[in-house]
């Protein structure tokens, strides 16, 4: 028998630095968005690790998570994600053990397998383990051990961290990440906001191969999407052009701050650039409240996912706040199908 329930909505904040803006302003905007998201009933608020990227201010992710968790009261706050190859598992356990001690039962730890940056920057992060991406599963197991219960034979301990059982998610855009999350019995988040192609296959693999674990008894899948809402469809399309221009800059190898929107994206990007950008952003949902409601409901029907995380990179901060307000307005109309 098919059952329906309200789908949780969450926020991914890349702390975008806009052209002409400053990093302190970016952090203030993230704080304001988090406070609004909590008031509107969003489930969790995640920040993502990126390095040496002029348009993203969340490089010191654990520090920024503490800033946001300290400003809010009840909403879960976490990493979407921490790039495990960049850090030793012990360092992550200590950082997130500290956060979980300060903000009990509110901290999530999403883990990614890629370094999230260029090779040169990865080297500058000075990990001695050059095979850390290859040893991803072993590093996840090691991290779990630091969060597990203390035992007499444990020599190295995460203090704080030991015994806190900080919830771990595996993030990814590949079948490998889906399979590993299934085999380890962990929740899985798919990055459809920039890698849409393998979404359905990844969800199928994750659900088919899932093995229950002490932390999770049945599969739990979340999808991250670009969702931009405005009072009219035309306004939303214009706001979306900033993200299109931003991805075009990355495709050219020249990423930078988030640019202002334009009235006609076809007059700014070449046809081949627009084709590539629109493919990358093909699962984005853009429009007025009705457009967004229909788009999200269709996605729920097609995927049966358990939670939606929304990335809303919008140049104008007030328009960004308004977008999350409009999305929250239609949340009660969305049904998760199980």
Read off the pLDDT of residues 59-85 as tens digits, 9 standing for 90 and up.
999 999 999 999 999 999 999 999 998
Report pLDDT for 155: 86
Q: Determine the Cα–Cα distance for residues 226 and 314; give it in Å rounded to an integer.
A: 10
The pLDDT, as a whole number, for residue 131 is 59
- Model's pTM, two decimal places? 0.94
> In the prediction, which pLDDT does 337 show?
58
According to the model, what pLDDT value does residue 243 have?
A: 97
With CA atoms as reference, report the closest residue to 143 among 189, 179, 112.
Answer: 112
pLDDT lower than 50: segments of the chain? 1-3
The per-residue DSSP string of 293-326 comes to HHHHHHHHHHH--SEEEEE---SSHHHHHHHHHH
Beta bridge partners of 219: none
CA distance 10 to 20: 28
Q: How many residues does the chain have?
A: 338
Q: Decide the pairing of beta strands 335-337 and 4-6.
A: antiparallel
176: how many CB neighbours lie within 10 A of its CB? Answer: 15
The CA-based diameter of the chain, rounded to the nearest angstrom, is 67
Contact status, residue 211 vs residue 226, Cβ threshold 8 Å: no
Q: Where are the domains of the chain?
A: 9-333
**CATH code for the part of the protein at 9-333:** 3.20.20.30
Say what the pLDDT of residue 172 is.
94
């Amino acid at each position: 028998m098919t059952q329906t329930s309200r789908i949780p909505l969450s926020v991914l904040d890349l702390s975008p630095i806009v052209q002409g803006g400053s990093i302190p302003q970016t952090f203030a905007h993230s704080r304001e968005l988090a406070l609004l998201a909590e008031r509107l009933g969003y489930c969790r608020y995640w920040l993502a690790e990126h390095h040496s990227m002029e348009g993203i201010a969340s490089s010191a992710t654990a520090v920024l998570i503490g800033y946001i968790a300290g400003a809010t009261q009840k909403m879960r706050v976490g990493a979407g994600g921490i790039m495990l190859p960049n850090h030793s598992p012990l360092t992550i356990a200590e950082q997130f053990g500290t956060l979980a001690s300060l903000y009990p039962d509110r901290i999530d730890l999403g883990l990614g397998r890629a370094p999230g940056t260029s090779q040169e920057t990865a080297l500058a992060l000075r990990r001695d383990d050059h095979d850390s991406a290859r040893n991803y599963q072993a590093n996840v197991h090691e991290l779990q051990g630091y969060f597990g219960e203390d035992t007499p034979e444990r020599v190295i301990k995460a203090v704080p961290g030991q015994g806190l059982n900080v919830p771990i998610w595996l993030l990814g855009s590949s079948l490998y990440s889906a399979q590993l999350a299934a085999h380890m019995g962990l929740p899985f988040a798919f990055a459809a906001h920039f890698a849409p192609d393998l979404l359905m296959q990844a969800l199928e693999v994750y659900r088919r191969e899932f093995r229950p674990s002490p932390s999770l008894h049945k599969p739990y899948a979340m999808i991250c999407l670009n969702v931009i809402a405005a009072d009219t469809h035309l306004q939303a399309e214009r706001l979306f052009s900033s993200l299109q221009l931003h991805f075009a800059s990355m495709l050219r190898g020249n990423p930078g701050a988030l640019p202002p929107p334009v009235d006609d994206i076809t007059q700014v990007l070449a046809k081949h650039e627009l084709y590539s950008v629109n493919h990358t952003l093909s699962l984005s949902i853009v429009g007025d409240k009705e457009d967004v409601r229909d788009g999200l409901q269709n996605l729920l029907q097609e995927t049966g996912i358990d939670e939606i995380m929304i990335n809303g990179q919008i140049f104008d901060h007030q328009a960004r706040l308004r977008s999350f307000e409009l999305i929250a307005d239609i949340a009660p109309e969305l049904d998760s199908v199980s």
